[in-house]
């Protein structure tokens, strides 16, 4: 998944150059983006701040309303819970594998976030029909877990079945609010979107039992982030310039 998103982020900006001339105020807007997330709510109990890669697919109408889809893939070495293997570690705090060696285990955040969005563009400056302050509201789905990267061959305590007792998988419905600036003007080589996004996940633990805490993993959670997002817009116009008239006071 990360390779696909990275490829999109490389290829689409090149396409943006060839689509540099704004033709009409109606268009599909493809926006690959990167974001930095500051965690809040119950998410702070498990993770530090992390990053995401994603894609917006929006359609902008002539009246400046925008509808679209947004997807983010979470990544980073951001796990906060250092006691996750407390029930299978020795006095050293390390896991000894079946060969008698200390194990090297990497803990990563793994997750995704998808929403359907409705927004409105406030033209600023007014003469630029596709630029201005963008406000969006959305709703959808959030999922995250601790990705345990280790050798399951030499650490049988963490094979595919037992790993589920430690990954703390959670998912559920989510909402978002975005406010930022969209730069999409005539004769510019690049079109950009940047802003702050406020995310709320009304999630629930999905593992019947957490091995490290020795208690149920079916807890209800409120997982929140504040994300700084930056994306490059590739517009695909749906009308010819001569088919649309513009009026300005």
The structure's pTM equals 0.83
CA angle 169, 146, 93 (to 5 degrees): 125
Domain spans, the chain: 25-221+228-239
Q: Digits of tens for pLDDT over the chain (249 positions)? A: 555 555 555 555 555 444 445 567 899 999 999 999 999 999 999 999 999 999 999 999 999 999 999 999 999 999 986 678 877 776 666 777 777 677 778 899 999 999 999 999 999 888 888 999 999 999 999 999 999 887 555 677 777 678 888 899 999 999 999 999 999 987 777 899 999 999 999 999 999 988 877 888 899 999 999 999 999 999 998 866 555 554 444
Topology (CATH level 3) of domain 25-221+228-239: Porin (2.40.160)
- Tell me how far CA of residue 9 lies from CA of 112, 139, 155, 161, in angstroms: 17, 24, 37, 35
* Cα atoms found within 13 Å of the Cα of residue 30, Cβ hemisphere only: 14
């Amino acid at each position: 998944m990360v390779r696909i998103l990275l490829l999109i982020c490389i290829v689409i900006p090149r396409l943006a150059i060839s689509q540099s001339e704004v033709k009409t105020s109606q268009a599909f807007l493809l926006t690959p983006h990167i974001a930095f997330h500051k965690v809040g709510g119950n998410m702070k109990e498990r993770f530090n701040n992390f990053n995401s890669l994603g894609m917006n697919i929006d359609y902008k109408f002539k009246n400046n309303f925008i509808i679209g889809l947004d997807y983010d893939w979470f990544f980073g070495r951001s796990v906060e819970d250092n006691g996750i293997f407390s029930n299978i570690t020795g006095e050293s705090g390390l896991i000894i594998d079946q060969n008698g060696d200390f194990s090297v285990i990497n803990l990563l955040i793994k997750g995704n976030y998808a929403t359907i969005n409705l927004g409105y563009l406030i033209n600023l400056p007014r003469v630029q029909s596709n630029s201005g302050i963008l406000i969006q509201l959305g709703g959808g789905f959030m999922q995250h877990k601790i990705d345990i990267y280790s050798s399951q061959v030499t650490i049988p305590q963490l094979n595919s079945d037992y790993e589920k007792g430690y990954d703390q998988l959670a998912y559920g419905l989510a909402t978002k609010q975005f406010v930022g600036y969209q730069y999409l003007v005539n004769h510019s080589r690049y079109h950009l979107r940047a802003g702050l996004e406020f995310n709320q996940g009304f999630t629930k633990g999905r593992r019947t039992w957490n091995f490290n805490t020795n208690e149920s993993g079916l807890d209800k959670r409120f997982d929140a982030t504040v994300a700084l997002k930056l994306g490059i817009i590739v517009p695909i116009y749906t009308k010819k310039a001569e088919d649309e008239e513009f009026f300005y006071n």
